[in-house]
Amino acid sequence: MRHVYTRTIIGIIWLIAAVAGLFTANFLMAGVGIVAGIIYLNSANSMRKKEKENK
């Protein structure tokens, strides 16, 4: 379960970095942050679903 929490936190940090990139007009970093955040949050969500199915 701690992997789910870790990936969720990392995903949120990436999304915060994307917002910071938008404020500083660094659109490349914003794009990378959005993609990485979505990937991490999607991974956490799929891990959470697998753990619920195994119980």
Nearest to 14 by CA among 28, 33, 38, 32: 33
Which whole number is the average pLDDT over 17-42? 95
Check whether 14 has a pLDDT greater than 80.
yes
Query: What's the pTM value of the predicted model, to 2 decimals?
Result: 0.87
Check whether 28 has a pLDDT greater than 90.
yes
Residue 52's pLDDT band (boundaries 50, 70, 90)?
A: confident
Which whole number is the average pLDDT over 46-54? 90
What is the gyration radius of the CA atoms in the chain, in angstroms? Answer: 13
Q: Give the residue extent of every domain in the chain.
A: 2-54
Which whole number is the average pLDDT over 17-37? 94
